[in-house]
A and B are shown apart, each in its own frame.
Chain A
Amino acid sequence: MTRVFITGLGVVSPVGIGVDAFGAALEAGQTGAAEIAHFDHSAFERHIACEVKGFRPRDHLTAAETRRAGRCSAMALAAARMAVEHSGLSPERLQGERTGVIIGTTMGEADVLGELESAWLHQGNHAIEAVKIPRYGTTLLPIHVARAVGARGMVQTLPAACAAGNYAIGFAADQIRAGRADVMLTGASEVIEKLQFAGFVRLGAVSPDCVRPFDVGRKGLLVGEGAGMVVLESEAHLVRRGGVPIAEVGGYGLACDAHHITRPHPDGEGSLHAMREAIRTSGLLPEQVDFINAHGTGTHANDRVEAKVIAEIFGSHRPAVTSIKSMLGHCMGAASAIEAVSCVLSITRGLLPPTINIEEVDADCAHLDLVLDRTREGRADVVLNNSLAFGGYDAVLALAKPGLLPDPAEVLA
C-alpha cells in the first residue's frame, strides 16, 4: 500500500486567486466579506457574503472551455490548472487512465440552474435557452478537468455538502492506495447563488456583518464560494518522475450523525468518531497532532459541538486551532478543499493563520488554543482538517509533512 503525496495546490478564494495571493491574505488576516455583487439582495435582511472577486474564466480557461463551463466548473478547472502547474507534472504524465478526477460540491452549477429556471418561470417554456442546459450538469465538474489534462480514469462528483472537499480528497487518496490510480486531481468547488443564500437566511444561519467563530457573540456564518484543488500522487509515481512532495495525505474519518438534516448531533457522536478515525488510520496518537483547521462556521450549534469534540479527544494536549472561515466565509462544498490548501501551506511554512473577529471567546470554547487575530509561527507537521455538513456528514482529513507518518501498509494492515 503506497503513501499518497500532495504535489500541487490550486485555489480560487474570496481572499485571493492563486496560492501565493491566498496564502498572503490568510497570513495578513484579510477578510473576503463584502456587500453581495452577484445578485440583487435588496429583498433580504442580510447583505454580506464572501464572493470571489475578479475571477475571469478566460484568464485560466480556453475560449472553448469558457463556453462549455459554468462558473462552478470554471473555478474548479482554474484551480486544477494551478495545481497541475504547481506540481510540475508534464502533460504526458497526466494523460491516460491512471489519472482520475474527483471533485466535491454541494449544489454544483446552481447559478446556471437558477438562470434557466428564472427565464422559464417568468417567461415560459420558449424562453429556455437550450444551449445553456448542458452547462448545468453536476456531472460535468470533473469532466471539464479530465478533458483539460487528458485524464481517462475515473471521473466522479461527490456532493457531500460542506464536507465535500474532505470526502473528495480522502476518497481520491483511497483510490491511489488501492492501486486504481497513480495520480488524482481532487478538491471541490462551489458558487454563491441567490436561492441558496435565501435558504441560509431563512434558516437564520447568516450573520449580519462578519463571522466570529468561537466568540460568545457569534451570529452565524457568511456564505462564501471558490474552489480548492490538489494533485495527489502515489509514492512510486512521484519517485519515477523525480517530483517533490509538498505534504502527505494521512487517514481520514467519516461518519453520519443520523440525527438531524442540518444540525450536528449535540454530543458530537459522529464528529468524534470521524476525528478518532482520522487519527487512528494515520497511525498517530492524539498528542502528535499539532494543529486543527476547525470547521468553525460561527454558528452556535457548530462551534459548541466542535469545541466539545476537540476537548474530548485531546484532553490536556491542546493543538492550535483556527477557523479561516472568519476570513473566507463558509465556501460550503468547497470549504474543506480550500481549507486543505491552507493546511498544506501551514505545514510547509510553519505559519498558522488566525481566527479573526473574535472579541470574547465563548466559555464553551475557552479550552481551545485558538490562533487569535494574528498569524502565529508554530509547528504544523501534523494537521487535521475538520468538516461537518448537511445530511449529518462528518469528515476529518489528516495531512502531514512528507514521510513523517507511519507506513500506511502497516497502519491499515
Chain B
Amino acid sequence: MRPLALTGLGIVSPLGVGRAAFFEALADPEQAARQAFEPTTEILLDSLPDAHTAEIWGWDPAHWLGKKGHRSFDRLTKFLIVAAKHALEDAGLKEGGEFLHLSPAEVGICSATAYGSLDAITELNRVAELEDPRYINPTRFPNTVINAAAGYVSIWEDLRAPNTTVVDGNCGSLDAFLGCATHLACGRARAFLVGGGEIVSEPLYLAMHHLGLLRDERGIGLIPSEGASYVVVEPSEQARARGATIAAELLGYGTHFEPPRSEALLAHASSTSVELAILGALGDAGLEPSAIDAISSSQSGLEELDAAEREGIVAALGPDVPILAPKLVLGESFGAAGAFGVASALGWMQGLPMAPRVGGRAPSSPPRHVVVTAVGYYGNVSAIVLRSGDRP
C-alpha cells in the first residue's frame, strides 16, 4: 500500500470529546478506567437499572453543534458530525465551516458501524407496535437506514466525494481504511474522513445481556461503549505540500475470515484469523514482524476471544511485542472500536503512557510502528499498520 497520511483527529469518547480531552484522559489510564465506566444515566433506565456502560457522559449536542438544524438527527449522527467537524479542523482542511484546503467535491467519508442507529429503530418500533404504525414520524424514518448517519455528516460538512459505510462487526472501522485507500488510489477523492461510530442502546444492551456477554462480578465480559472517531486520511505528499502535520501514516491493511470448526457454531474465536490478518497487513506495509513496536489490540474482557487474539498476535509477532488494550479504558464500542484503537495509538506515538498492557514486554519509548487489530465474533479479523509521523 502507498503510505497515506493521518492529518487530523476528531473523537467523541467516554473519556472526553476532542483530541485534547481524549489525550489528557489517556495520560492517566487508571483514572480513565474509573472515569469511563459508570451506571448508565439516561439510556437504559427502563430495563436493567444496574446496567454499567461507557457512555458519552453529559452529552450536550447543542454545545458542539449549536441549537438549530439537528432536531431530527439521532445520537449516532450527532456523534459522527462532531467527530467529523473536529477532524476536519484538526487537519487544517476547514475552519469556521469554510474549506481552507481542498473543496467539497474532493473530500469523502469512509465510515463504519456495527449496529447503526438501533435507538432510532426502537423509537419508531415503539410507536408502530404500541400505538399505530401510521403515527411514526417520517422525519425520523431515514435514521433507521444504516448509512443515513454518515449521509448526514456529508450534508452538515458539505462533503460531496464518495460517502461509504461499512459493517463488519468489530472490524468495520479498520475496514474503512481499506475503503479510503481504495478510493484514493482510484482518484475518487483527495481526502477522506475515516473511522466510525456506535451508540449504546437499550436493545443492544439487552442483546448482550441475553447472550451473557456483559462484564460480571469477576470482571469477565465486556462493557458496552459508544462514541465516534474520525481521522483525516490523505496522500502523504499532498499533506506535506499543504504544510499539514502528519500524526501518523497508514502503511498496510490485512484481513482474514476463518469459519468455525463446527457447523453448529456461529460465533467463535480464531487465532488463525488474527495471525493472518496481522501478517497480511505487514505484507501490505512491506515490514517484517520485528519492526512492530506495539499492538493496539481488541482485548475487551471476553475470555475466549481475548485468548485467541493474544495467541494470534504471538504467532505473528512473537511474545515480546507490548499488547495494549484500549477497550479496558474505553469499553467495547464495536464498529467504532478500531477507530478508538487508532486514536489511542496516535496518543502513544506522542508519548502518552502505553497502557493498559495485557501482554508482551514493557515499552521503553513511544512506538514507531503500531499494529491496530479488530477481532470480530465470527472469525473475521482486520488489522492495519501505522507509522508515527511528525507530531511531537
Contact = CB atoms under 8 A, between A and B. Distances in A.
A397 B104 CA distance: 23
Interface bin, chain B: 35 or more
Contacts of B350: none
A117 B114 contact: no
B165 A158 contact: yes
Contacts of A152: 256-258
A204 B141 CA distance: 12
Interface stretch (A74-82, A137-145, A238-246, A312-320): A137-145
Given A120-B206, A194-B133, A390-B142, A255 B263 contact: no
A330 to B, nearest CB: 13
Interface bin, chain A: 35 or more
B124 interface: yes
A203 B141 contact: yes
B162 A256 contact: yes
A391 B111 CA distance: 13
Contacts of A393: 147, 151, 163
Contacts of A361: none
Given A122-B129, A194-B133, A259-B155, A130 B210 contact: yes
Contacts of A412: 186
Interface stretch (A9-17, A105-113, A303-311, A365-373): A105-113
Interface stretch (A51-59, A167-175, A321-329): A167-175
B286 to A, nearest CB: 14
B168 interface: yes
A260 to B, nearest CB: 7
Given A108-B146, A117-B125, A254 B133 contact: no
A107 B124 CA distance: 14
A151 B124 contact: no
Nearest to A152: B257
Interface string B93-135: 0000000000011001100001110000110111011101110
A153 B379 CA distance: 11
B121 A392 contact: no
Contacts of B183: 254
A258 B210 contact: no
A260 B72 CA distance: 13
Nearest to A265: B160
A175 B182 contact: yes
A336 to B, nearest CB: 14
B7 interface: no
B165 A159 contact: yes
B257 A391 contact: no
B154 A113 contact: no
A256 to B, nearest CB: 4
A259 B151 CA distance: 9
B357 interface: no
Contacts, number: 223
B133 A256 contact: no
Interface in B166-197: 166-169, 175, 178-179, 182-183, 185-186, 188
Could you tell me the dominant secondary structure of chain B's interface residues? mixed
B13 interface: no
A97 B256 contact: yes
Given A151-B257, A156-B168, A160-B164, A128 B210 contact: yes
A178 interface: yes
Contacts of A146: 257, 259
A159 B210 CA distance: 26
Interface string A187-213: 000000011101111111000000000
A116 B125 CA distance: 11
A140 B114 CA distance: 11
B160 A171 contact: no
Could you tell me the dominant secondary structure of chain A's interface residues? mixed
B38 to A, nearest CB: 22
B211 interface: yes
A150 B380 CA distance: 13
B128 A198 contact: yes
Contact of A174 (B141, B161, B182, B264): B182
Please indicate which of the listed interface residues B132, B150, B160, B379 has the most CB atoms of chain A within 10 Å of its own CB.
B160
B267 A391 contact: no
A118 interface: yes
A147 interface: yes
A139 B266 contact: no
Contact of A160 (B133, B159, B165, B211): B165
A138 B166 CA distance: 10
Interface in B290-315: none
B331 interface: no
Nearest to B143: A261
A45 B175 CA distance: 42
Contact of B255 (A68, A107, A153, A160): A153
13 contacts: A97-B256, A117-B125, A143-B257, A143-B379, A157-B167, A158-B165, A158-B166, A195-B124, A202-B138, A255-B105, A256-B161, A258-B155, A259-B155
Interface of B: 47-48, 104-105, 108-109, 114-116, 121-122, 124-126, 128-130, 132-134, 136-138, 141-142, 144-148, 150-152, 154-155, 157-169, 175, 178-179, 182-183, 185-186, 188, 203, 206-207, 210-211, 255-259, 263-264, 266-267, 276, 280, 376, 378-380
> 4 closest Cβ contacts across the A-B interface?
A391-B151, A199-B141, A159-B146, A254-B162
Given A199-B141, A201-B134, 10 more contacts: A45-B134, A106-B147, A107-B144, A130-B211, A139-B378, A159-B146, A171-B164, A195-B133, A258-B154, A389-B147
